[in-house]
Amino acid sequence: MSAAPVVAQGTAKEARARRISGQPEVLERTLALLRWAGLAFFVLGATDVALTWLPTNFGNREWEFATVTASFNGMPVIILGLVLMVATAAWEGKKWWALGGGLVAAAFFLFVLGAIVLWAGNVPLALGAVEGVALTGLKKAIFKTAVQSMVLPIIFGALAYQGLRGFRSSSA
């Protein structure tokens, strides 16, 4: 008779580590691809958002309202890019990538807060300037931007925290 097979014991995390440890070069290439894809998403999203602000026309309430609303629509691409960069930096212990992502997220956190203030000051004027069927579309835009105004600072704040935390905890 032969001995009973030995079943490996351990957590799911340990099992994943055993699978990955056999393919370090694949993991390294995959993480690099995700990190660089994150940078590309960030650059594309940031370019789109930046171009909504140019040329500037501060003082024109209609421009301010529309620009903030359009800017917030482009933020998910920026967030995706930053998440990919910060997450891969945390996984690999690349502290400078983590710091860069964290600082950029902190800057966007402050940008979003300023844009919210600018936008909120123009909502009453926008509601008073539109009537009829156009009012429905305006109310939808206001609702969407209001939701984004609550979610975006939380996400950028969390990304900033994680990026800065990854910088402090990495030894590389």
CB atoms within 10 A of CB 81: 23
Exposure letters 123-160 (e unless 16+ CB within 10 A, then b): beebeeeeeeeeeeebeebbeebeebbeebbebbbebb
CB atoms within 10 A of CB 103: 14
Enclosing H/E stretch for 169: helix 133-169
Which tokens is 41 given? 């998403």
Cβ contacts of residue 132 below 8 Å, gap of 6+?
Answer: none
Which tokens is 85 given? 């960069």
Q: What pLDDT was estimated at residue 16? A: 63
Q: Each residue of 19-76: pLDDT tens digit?
A: 666 677 888 899 999 999 999 999 999 999 999 999 999 999 999 999 999 999 999 9
Whole-number Å distance between alpha carbons of 118 and 126: 13
Rounded to the nearest integer, the mean pLDDT of the chain is: 89
Give percent of the chain with pLDDT exceeding 70: 85
Q: Each residue of 95-154: pLDDT tens digit?
A: 999 999 999 999 999 999 999 999 999 999 999 988 889 999 999 999 999 999 999 999
Q: What pLDDT was estimated at residue 82? A: 97
Q: What pLDDT was estimated at residue 26? A: 84
Q: Each residue of 67-102: pLDDT tens digit?
A: 999 999 999 999 999 999 999 998 888 999 999 999
Residue 88 is which amino acid? T
Angle of helix 61-92 relative to helix 133-169, nearest 10 degrees, comes to 30
Q: What pLDDT was estimated at residue 172? A: 46
Q: What pLDDT was estimated at residue 81? A: 97
Show me where the domains of the chain are located: 12-169
Rg of the chain on CA atoms, in Å: 22
Three-class SS of 14-38: HHHHHHHHCCHHHHHHHHHHHHHHH
Q: Tell me the three state secondary structure of residue 59.
A: coil
**Residue 14's pLDDT band (boundaries 50, 70, 90)?**
low
